[in-house]
């Protein structure tokens, strides 16, 4: 099986790029951040204080997360319910960052990720794919962009989905900046580019240009045809 790892900060476009690459390569995707978001959604939805480690660890036994694909689209299920469309909010993002620093949470989710890569040709994105989850991935990337660029993209996404809801760009910038700090400074698997990773900054690149950079790099390292 061929595995492609994409790491990077929140809002850099990892999930979108992964989906496009997977379609062009005929691979499946695994947005590992969505697994953490799913766990975070559980705590938020059940009014459990996710900032208290013992409460988080004690409730892991009540969480069942599964991944399905429908026409190459990734669907995230929490305890049998499709929550794919409910886990992309700043609140869930912030909570996911907090619980991802807990070793027991990472251990709880790591096997889901590795088992998936053993069974499928995969484009997997997250924050420690190339460094921890798939250290032997065939190709490793680190995708980044400036905080302002990432915030504007997330703002536009949220506005498209919640046009009637009042959303402030400043709040998203703050959320992204806080998550960057938390992810980069946590003791367990901090966000960092692996020494073998290809670093791509797409602050000034559009989606099509970013995809082309990825595809060219992949073709240089893996003998594979694209669709």
Environment class of 158 (CB within 10 Å of its CB; exposed 0-12, middle 13-18, buried 19+): middle
Residue with tokens 């409460």: 55
Contact at 8 Å (CB) between 8 and 24?
A: no
Tell me how long the chain is.
227
pLDDT tens track for 38-66:
999 999 999 999 999 999 999 999 999 99
Domain ranges of the chain: 3-31+89-221
Write down the CATH number for the domain with range 3-31+89-221: 3.40.50.300
- Asked whether the predicted pLDDT for residue 164 surpasses 60, the reply is no
- Asked whether the predicted pLDDT for residue 159 surpasses 60, the reply is yes
pTM for this prediction: 0.76
CA 117, CA 123: separation in Å to the nearest integer? 9
Q: Would you tell me how many other CB atoms lie within 10 Å of the CB of residue 73?
A: 11
**What's the N-to-C CA distance of the chain in angstroms?**
18
Using pLDDT thresholds of 50, 70 and 90, give the confidence band for residue 72.
low
> What's the sign of the alpha-carbon dihedral 165, 170, 175, 180?
positive
């Amino acid at each position: 099986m061929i595995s492609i790892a994409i790491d990077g900060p929140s809002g850099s476009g990892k999930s979108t790029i992964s989906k496009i690459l997977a379609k062009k390569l005929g691979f499946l995707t695994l947005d590992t951040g969505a697994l953490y978001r799913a766990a975070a959604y559980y705590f938020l939805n059940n009014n459990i204080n996710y900032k208290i480690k013992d409460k988080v660890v004690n409730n892991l036994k009540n969480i069942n997360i599964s991944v399905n694909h429908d026409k190459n689209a990734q669907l995230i299920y929490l305890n049998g319910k499709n929550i794919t469309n409910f886990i992309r909010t700043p609140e869930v993002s912030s909570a996911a960052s907090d619980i991802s620093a807990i070793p027991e949470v990472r251990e709880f989710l790591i096997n889901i990720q590795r088992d998936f890569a053993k069974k499928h040709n995969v484009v997997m994105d997250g924050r420690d794919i190339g460094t921890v989850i798939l250290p032997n991935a065939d190709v490793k990337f680190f995708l980044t962009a400036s905080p302002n660029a990432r915030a504007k993209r997330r703002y536009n996404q949220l506005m498209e989905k919640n046009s009637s809801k009042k959303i402030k760009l400043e709040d998203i910038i703050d959320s992204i900046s806080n998550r960057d700090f938390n992810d980069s400074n946590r003791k367990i698997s901090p966000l960092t580019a692996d020494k073998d990773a290809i670093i791509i900054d797409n602050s000034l690149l559009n989606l099509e240009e970013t995809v082309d950079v990825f595809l060219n790099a992949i073709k240089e390292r893996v003998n594979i045809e694209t669709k």
